[in-house]
Chain A
Amino acid sequence: MAVPIPSADTIPVAWGWFQFLLLLTFPLHLLAMNAMFGGLAVGVVLQFKNDQVSNRLAHRVAVMLPLVIAFVVNLGVAPLLFLQVLYGHFIYTSSVLIGILWILVVPVLIIAYYGAYLYDFRFKTLGSAGKWVGLLVLILLPCIGYVFSSNMLLMALPERFVDYFQHRDGSMIVSGQATFLPRYLHMMTGAVAVGSLFVALLGRFRAARDRELAEYAERVGMRTFFVMTLINVIFGTWYLLSLDREEMMLFMGADPAATACFVVALLMVVFILVMSFKKRLVATLCGIVVLVYLMSFLRSWLRSALLSDYFNLGQLTVVPQYSSMIFFFACLAGGLVCVGWLIVKTAGTLASEQ
């Protein structure tokens, strides 16, 4: 049976704009997601250790958790929107194929989010029960990651779309695919690594009030980051080797730009390992931001390669509506001014409190 590929809708401006916006916003979502999941993972482990300073640090993580979740969701909206504009005919199809899991994301996220508020607002009154609430949220969040990984993988595997006829109810599972497990583990291990940097950063923000906490956070955070990044190098290699030879060779000379990006990313991995070993928080943070962007570019290259037999972005038809894009950028500028003002006023208020 021929692979059913839906026809694409027209786009209002050249596809490069959407690709730019997608690659700009997706890493921000990833960084926030990493802070959420990895931060909570470290926080819950600390709470299980149950000494005073660990508990204080776990409390700081709990306080930040609902705020971080809000931004994970928010920063996830933009890339999902731009992804749907560029690859809608693939992502809508794959979403239907795993429809049951896909819609379950909503109730699971609501439960996890309310759990996070409970963990924050009742941290002290919950006492030792709090860590179990944290653990529940910690278990729910990677379930959502599992569904997202499944969908993002399936959308780039159109040859599996014919399985629809055995799964009209949206019950398809793709985690048996060879690339799924290394891809998922690479993503989640990276999240724990970056999340532990977030914990270190939280401690530093608290340094003026609680020096012991700050030093402890930085020690725990940097050490966890170093170890998890080393482990993730193994998962990353496994992921690379799990790809078909044609896709793997993209990053090994077949495509010069992709290869160059891959080499720079590898150098950046070495850089952050060295910086984290030396306990240089800011340098490690800067390095990880650059690395997450580079990894997102590599991911985009891989998706284009996987879909190349069926589609390339140049096939999208443009029906120009540039005024709507100007309107968006004007709103974005205004929005950033508002957020900037809020940050300044918040910082001023918090500074006057100390």
Chain B
Amino acid sequence: MNYPVWYLPEIGGGLLIAVIAVLHVFVSHFAVGGGLYLIYAEKKGLRESSQAILDFTRQHARFFLLLTMVFGSISGVGIWFIIALVNPAATSLLIHLFVFGWAAEWVFFVVEISAAFVYFYLFGKMDSATHLKVGWIYFISAWLSLFLINGIICFMLTPGAWLENAGFWSGFFNPSFWPSLVFRTCIAVMLAGVYGYLSASFTTDESVRTAMTKFSARWSLAALVGAVPSGIWYVLALPEPAKALVLGKSPTIVSAGQWGAGAAIVVLAITLVVGFMRPAVNTRATACVAMIGALVLLGAFEWTREAARRPYAVNEVVYSNMIFKKDLDSINRDGYLHKALWVENREITPDNRVEAGRELFIQQCYACHTLGGVNNDLKALTAQMSHNALVSYIGKIHQIRYFMPPFAGTDQEAAALAAYIASGLHGKELVAAADQGAADPGLELFESHCASCHDSADLAPATEAMNRQEIVETLASLDEISDEMVPFDGSDEEAEQLASYLYFLSERDDAPAAAIDAEALFESECSACHAVEDMGELVSGWEKSEIFEALGKLDELNDEMTPFTGSDEEKEALSGYLHNLGRDN
């Protein structure tokens, strides 16, 4: 809200960051491990008095220079540019907090490029001992660059004690610093081996190709083995919400994990089979497959790390949509549009509701959602939801899906955002909230007072043993149940209406007869993730009883789902609806 949003709805800033960042880390980690590889390759050539290996090393150094110095360093600047464009608030925070960390990294960058030039241009001209020292200066400065960047990147995921003391060193040496550093060092060495394969595969001298393929295999295998325990250590160092996301609660991480595991197997197989058993098979095609495997592996790791940080850009400090956590209460109280700098619609009127909703979408949702793009297309994700379902969903979005930031703003603003999605994006008719509430004042009171934290189904067991009077009394003393709640502050009549609504959440003998709208149930419970057509396909061939059973244990089908918690009648109605969908399919 402090900075303008660079708005490219069909592309999305996240995708641009991902493309630049993954390609950059694939080269920048090689720039670290590859430096060490060059030193040991040169030493091997000197030890064995092999001019052919020294020539290979020089050729590899040229490839190394062209890749790391041009693509590596410029794409590094590219990351800086793109994160500042996509999330200037978080970038500014990181720049200001760690300016001298970045500045020190710049010093190592100076040393790195100076040493890289001397190493390459004076290869074979400088005496060997001095030349190797230049190699060490290169490697140490490159690794120290990694050391510094690692501290700042890990701070974003695990700020640790910085949250209490705001100290530079507390933020830098944060809880995931060491495991991440060891893991990234292993990755850097693994990449050195994989790039070594590639150079070896281009060598025409067969003895050199075999020798350097084996040499490279030792590097990548040792590093892959080292990466496993350090990876586990890394995950264990994560705070609980991030750990839960990594271990299965985040659909995007589950997908990245599968890609990463597959890629690791490819790299491992090529390392073992080609590297050790049949080094002569190291053809250019094989080496390219290993390169692609390593790229996917690294991409999966970076994607996982980024996704584990959600809903934050800097954990517990600033959300991915540039809203600071500390500002949330005042925004919810005073309204987002009043406080935001970069919006045109500051008051919501019936005439500008959709346009104001669009601005709220740009400010709060676009950070992760595109419109019609490949990444998190909000149009597709909300196609099945009505305006009312969206209003309800936006209000409790963070409770339902932890990895999404809470909506920041008033109820009126949430309704405007829902109006933009339902009407502006999907052309659906908007039903006035007042018309809804008039039908059931208890429901209206529940939505305005309770729904931000409670799902109605969750409250049914809590009120099951109470009569209406007891519920009224409980509403007046909610703060005794939990510090997070405040007593209901409505009139006596409103307390009665709300109590009546809560009372009938449980099965009652005196419950008013009401037909259950299974389609509405599907819309509110399932449609956020499932389209009607897809659902029909999914349950095609299932018996109604099977669907009924499955609804009670959805978490066993998929980690991302939670069991349906409605009443048996609702479950029965929903099963019937789904069964019909399956039969029609």
Q: Does A9 contact B (CB under 8 A)?
A: yes
Give A95 to B78 CA distance when docked, in angstroms: 13
Q: Which residues of B contact A113 (CB under 8 A)?
A: 70, 74
Query: Quick check: B3 and A84 within 8 Å, CB to CB?
Result: no
Chain B nearest CB, measured from A325 CB (Å): 5
Chain-A contact segment, one of B39-47, B122-130, B211-219, B240-248: B122-130
Query: Quick check: A103 and B341 within 8 Å, CB to CB?
Result: no
With A95-B84, A324-B100: A73-B92 Cβ-Cβ less than 8 Å: no
Q: Does B542 contact A (CB under 8 A)?
A: no
Q: Which residues of B contact A334 (CB under 8 A)?
A: 107
Q: Does B457 contact A (CB under 8 A)?
A: no
Query: Quick check: B85 and A321 within 8 Å, CB to CB?
Result: no
Q: Does B276 contact A (CB under 8 A)?
A: no
Q: Which residues of A contact B70 (CB under 8 A)?
A: 110, 113-114, 117
Kindly supply a per-residue 1/0 record for chain A positions 328-339, scoring 1 wherever the CB is within 8 Å of any chain B CB and 0 otherwise: 100110110011
Query: Quick check: B6 and A92 within 8 Å, CB to CB?
Result: no
- Interface residue ranges of B90-132 to A (CB < 8 Å): 91-93, 95-104, 106-111, 113-115, 117-118, 122, 125-127, 130
- Interface residue ranges of A56-73 to B (CB < 8 Å): 66-67, 70-71, 73
Chain-B contact segment, one of A192-200, A253-261, A341-349: A341-349
Query: Quick check: A6 and B99 within 8 Å, CB to CB?
Result: no
Q: Does A78 contact B (CB under 8 A)?
A: yes
Chain B nearest CB, measured from A25 CB (Å): 9
Chain B nearest CB, measured from A342 CB (Å): 5
Secondary structure class of chain A's binding surface, majority of residues: helix
Q: Does B527 contact A (CB under 8 A)?
A: no
Chain B nearest CB, measured from A351 CB (Å): 12
Q: Does A20 contact B (CB under 8 A)?
A: no
- Interface residue ranges of A81-121 to B (CB < 8 Å): 81-82, 84-85, 88-89, 92-93, 95-97, 99, 102-103, 105-106, 109-110, 113-114, 117
Query: Quick check: B115 and A338 within 8 Å, CB to CB?
Result: yes
Q: Does A262 contact B (CB under 8 A)?
A: no
Q: Which residues of B contact A321 (CB under 8 A)?
A: 100, 167-168
- Number of chain A interface residues as a range: 35 or more
Query: Quick check: B4 and A88 within 8 Å, CB to CB?
Result: no
Q: Does A169 contact B (CB under 8 A)?
A: yes
Chain B nearest CB, measured from A313 CB (Å): 14
Q: Does B66 contact A (CB under 8 A)?
A: yes
Query: Quick check: A102 and B81 within 8 Å, CB to CB?
Result: yes
Kindly supply a per-residue 1/0 record for chain B positions 64-81, scoring 1 wherever the CB is within 8 Å of any chain A CB and 0 otherwise: 001001110111011001
Query: Quick check: B74 and A106 within 8 Å, CB to CB?
Result: yes
Q: Does B137 contact A (CB under 8 A)?
A: yes
Query: Quick check: A6 and B2 within 8 Å, CB to CB?
Result: yes
B114, B141, B167 — most chain A CB neighbours (10 Å): B114
Q: Does A4 contact B (CB under 8 A)?
A: yes
Q: Does B421 contact A (CB under 8 A)?
A: no
Q: Which residues of B contact A89 (CB under 8 A)?
A: 2-3, 92
Give A224 to B115 CA distance when docked, in angstroms: 33
Chain B nearest CB, measured from A238 CB (Å): 31
Give A319 to B88 CA distance when docked, in angstroms: 20
Query: Quick check: A164 and B96 within 8 Å, CB to CB?
Result: no
Q: Which residues of B contact A327 (CB under 8 A)?
A: 100, 104
Q: Which of B95, B97, B108 contacts A335 (CB 8 A)?
A: B108
- Interface residue ranges of B1-22 to A (CB < 8 Å): 2-8, 16, 20
Query: Quick check: B77 and A338 within 8 Å, CB to CB?
Result: no
Q: Which residues of A contact B73 (CB under 8 A)?
A: 70, 73-74
Chain A nearest CB, measured from B143 CB (Å): 14
Query: Quick check: A345 and B168 within 8 Å, CB to CB?
Result: no
Kindly supply a per-residue 1/0 record for chain A positions 150-183, scoring 1 wherever the CB is within 8 Å of any chain B CB and 0 otherwise: 0000000000010011001110000000000000
Give A96 to B87 CA distance when docked, in angstroms: 10
Give A169 to B362 CA distance when docked, in angstroms: 11
Q: Which residues of A contact B66 (CB under 8 A)?
A: 114, 117
Chain B nearest CB, measured from A193 CB (Å): 26
With A12-B97, A70-B73: A106-B78 Cβ-Cβ less than 8 Å: yes
Chain B nearest CB, measured from A89 CB (Å): 7
Q: Which residues of B contact A319 (CB under 8 A)?
A: 166
Kindly supply a per-residue 1/0 record for chain B positions 274-305, scoring 1 wherever the CB is within 8 Å of any chain A CB and 0 otherwise: 00000000000000000000000000000000
Give A346 to B3 CA distance when docked, in angstroms: 47
Give A6 to B115 CA distance when docked, in angstroms: 41
Query: Quick check: A103 and B109 within 8 Å, CB to CB?
Result: no
Query: Quick check: A67 and B85 within 8 Å, CB to CB?
Result: no
Q: Does A14 contact B (CB under 8 A)?
A: no
What is the chain A residue whose CB lies nearest that of B88? A92
Query: Quick check: A164 and B75 within 8 Å, CB to CB?
Result: no
Q: Does A249 contact B (CB under 8 A)?
A: no
Query: Quick check: A342 and B168 within 8 Å, CB to CB?
Result: no
Q: Does B169 contact A (CB under 8 A)?
A: yes
With A12-B99, A73-B77: A96-B92 Cβ-Cβ less than 8 Å: no
What is the chain A residue whose CB lies nearest that of B104? A331
Give A126 to B74 CA distance when docked, in angstroms: 26
Query: Quick check: A323 and B69 within 8 Å, CB to CB?
Result: no
Kindly supply a per-residue 1/0 record for chain B positions 157-168, scoring 1 wherever the CB is within 8 Å of any chain A CB and 0 otherwise: 000000000111
Give A85 to B107 CA distance when docked, in angstroms: 17
Give A113 to B71 CA distance when docked, in angstroms: 9
Q: Which of A4, A10, A12, A332 contacts B168 (CB 8 A)?
A: A12
Q: Does B202 contact A (CB under 8 A)?
A: no
With A106-B81, A164-B342, A168-B362: A335-B110 Cβ-Cβ less than 8 Å: yes
CB pairs A–B below 8 angstroms (8 shown): A12-B97, A21-B103, A92-B88, A103-B81, A106-B20, A168-B6, A170-B6, A324-B168
Beyond A12-B99, A335-B141, 8 additional contacts (C-beta under 8 Å) are A5-B341, A70-B69, A77-B106, A85-B95, A105-B81, A117-B70, A345-B126, A345-B130
Q: Which 9 A-B pairs have the closest CB atoms?
A: A92-B88, A106-B78, A335-B107, A9-B96, A328-B100, A324-B100, A168-B7, A331-B104, A4-B341
